[in-house]
Amino acid sequence: MDSFLIRGPCRLEGSVTISGAKNAMLPLMASSLLTGGRCSFGNVPDLRDTRTMMKLLGVLGVSSSLRDGHLEIDASTVTSFEAPYDLVRTMRASIYSLGPLLTRYGTARVSLPGGCAWGPRPVDLHIRGIIALGAKVRIDHGYIDATADRLHGAEMILSVPSVGATVNIMMAAVLADGITVIDNAAREPEIVELAGALKKAGAVISGEGTSKITIEGVTEIGEIMHDVIPDRIEAGTFAAAAVLTGGRIQIDNCRPDHLHAVLEKLRECGASIEVSGNCMIVTGPGTIRPTDVETGFYPAFPTDMQAQIMAVLSRAKGSSTIVEHVYPDRFTHVPELKRLGAKINLDGNVAVVNGVDSFEGAPVMATDIRASSALILAGLVAEGETKVLRVYHIDRGYEQLEEKLGALGADIKRIKE
Ligand code: EPZ
């Protein structure tokens, strides 16, 4: 139950290096279950979620070690096929064990993840996908219980381009008998990353990054060796911090090409953004301009940047509208931003943000990874002290955030409780 104590306002200045992407690393770690051998990954962020996935692999009999961003996994000794509720409820991505266990071992028992702070997050598409590949599935005491002799290829259309369902079905199809086509698949860079790593290990996949992915099943794949891409949401968070604080930040080891929609909106707010290779320099304006934002599936504006841009627009000169299409209830950060003085009206999945000239520091409560980063950003420009409670959410998704912000001039410290 650590918290952060932030003294503001401040103007961020300097350079920051982006860590590996949580949402690319988690599926990659689960994919090691397909190999039955040793896998190694570079540029791995040491996050709470990394440790949780290592714990889950451990429960399945898979040993792993993480040192200086290098992760070694030995998946040659799988002894259990059950992902327990106690782990799955702390990290939904545990469900990524379903596809690989089922396709390689013919059985998987994975706890249903349950809901989260912003409402129901069903996994029906994951289940429908593996049933289409020939699995027998029953829901038993809160667990997905799936079995299959050998999965077979199938054609399917996802009703929503779900990242998680695309990941699970793609991994299950890698060792299935025949050809699988996933239509309306997710197009996120994390999907392209996973497909790339699997192909290097012998999988036959095409169309990743488009809405139609084809997987030709093989009998086995080799060991996976892969460096994780930089985290686009972490990079987007620091870009938003530069705009909100009126600062200037050089963001190194990032992929600006994964952030088009975010950078476009920050430019509309008045930011100057210079991109060169895997680096960008973001300079915040003297006055933030209002703009309207609609979240959507990649390459549209990511829902994982919605809270952060709301913090920016809460200090704009004028009114902005934010429409949340992916998770219509994802607004748990709103009452907390209002505690700092923000003026936000919610109507269903639409937030109208009327910019104010100043924030006043106050104690606020983090509710999820991205909401907490938005509260920290807001605390950086609030007068006086802001105390962000429950920062374990931050530790799930951001590596050394307070150190990185401190190096940019923020007055932020962790209070251990
Ligand atoms: C991934 O979650 C990310 N998590 C989330 O980031 C991100 O918010 C989300 O994609 C959307 O971009 C990871 O990568 C670990 P989805 P995921 O399946 O896979 C509906 C963060 O902060 N849906 O793409 O769980 C669902 O309700 C996290 O890093 C179904 O209806 O998201 C939602 O409306 C938070 N049935 C939409 O699809 C299903 O079976 C997108 O969900 C699955 C999803």
At residue 188, what is the residue type?
A: E
Q: pLDDT-derived band of residue 23, with 50, 70 and 90 as boundaries? A: very high
pLDDT computed for residue 35 by the predictor: 98
Question: Which H/E stretch holds residue 264?
Answer: helix 260-268
Q: Which atom of ligand 1 is nearest to the CA of 125?
A: 40
Mean pLDDT of 212-220: 98
Distance (Å, whole) CA 42 – CA 21: 11
Distance (Å, whole) CA 48 – CA 60: 19
Q: pLDDT-derived band of residue 120, with 50, 70 and 90 as boundaries? A: confident
Mean pLDDT of 316-337: 97
Q: pLDDT-derived band of residue 381, with 50, 70 and 90 as boundaries? A: very high
pLDDT computed for residue 391 by the predictor: 93
Between the CA of 298 and the centroid of ligand 1 the distance, in Å, is: 12
pLDDT higher than 90, residue 275: yes
Mean pLDDT of 85-112: 97
Q: 133 or 114: whose pLDDT is higher?
A: 133
159's tokens: 């009703």
Catalytic position from the list 10, 39, 116, 279:
116
pLDDT computed for residue 343 by the predictor: 98
pLDDT higher than 90, residue 402: yes
User: pLDDT for 27-56, tens place per residue?
Assistant: 999 999 999 999 999 999 999 999 999 999
Q: pLDDT-derived band of residue 1, with 50, 70 and 90 as boundaries? A: confident
Per DSSP bridges, beta strands 155-157 and 179-183 are: parallel
Between the CA of 395 and the centroid of ligand 1 the distance, in Å, is: 19
104's tokens: 């390689």
pLDDT computed for residue 114 by the predictor: 76
Question: Cβ–Cβ contacts within 10 Å for residue 183, how many?
Answer: 14
User: Can 279 be counted among the known catalytic residues?
Assistant: no
pLDDT computed for residue 183 by the predictor: 98
pLDDT higher than 90, residue 121: no
Across the chain, mean pLDDT equals: 97
pLDDT computed for residue 119 by the predictor: 77
Q: Which atom of ligand 1 is nearest to the CA of 190?
A: 14
Tell me which residue has its CA closest to atom 18 in ligand 1.
Answer: 162
Q: pLDDT-derived band of residue 84, with 50, 70 and 90 as boundaries? A: very high
Between the CA of 295 and the centroid of ligand 1 the distance, in Å, is: 13
Mean pLDDT of 360-379: 97
Query: What are the residues whose beta carbons fall under 8 Å from the beta carbon of 257, sequence distance 6 or more?
Result: none
Distance (Å, whole) CA 271 – CA 285: 5
Tell me which residue has its CA closest to atom 3 in ligand 1.
Answer: 23
Between the CA of 328 and the centroid of ligand 1 the distance, in Å, is: 12
pLDDT computed for residue 305 by the predictor: 98
pLDDT computed for residue 286 by the predictor: 96
Query: What are the residues whose beta carbons fall under 8 Å from the beta carbon of 264, sequence distance 6 or more?
Result: none
DSSP H helical ranges for 112-231 = 124-132, 163-174, 189-200
Q: Which atom of ligand 1 is nearest to the CA of 370?
A: 22
User: For the stretch 108-132, what's the b/e string if a residue is b when 16 or more beta carbons lie within 10 angstroms of its beta carbon?
Assistant: bbbbbbeebebeeeebebbbbbbeb
pLDDT higher than 80, residue 167: yes
Question: Which H/E stretch holds residue 238?
Answer: helix 232-245
pLDDT computed for residue 243 by the predictor: 98
Mean pLDDT of 213-227: 98
pLDDT computed for residue 118 by the predictor: 81
DSSP result, 25-46: HHHHHHHGGGTTSEEEEES---
Task: Write the DSSP symbol of residue 178.
Answer: S
Task: Write the DSSP symbol of residue 302.
Answer: -
Mean pLDDT of 240-249: 98
User: pLDDT for 108-118, tens place per residue?
Assistant: 999 999 767 78
The pocket around ligand 1, CB under 6 angstroms, is made up of 22-23, 26, 92-93, 121-126, 160, 162-165, 186, 303-304, 326-327, 369-370, 397
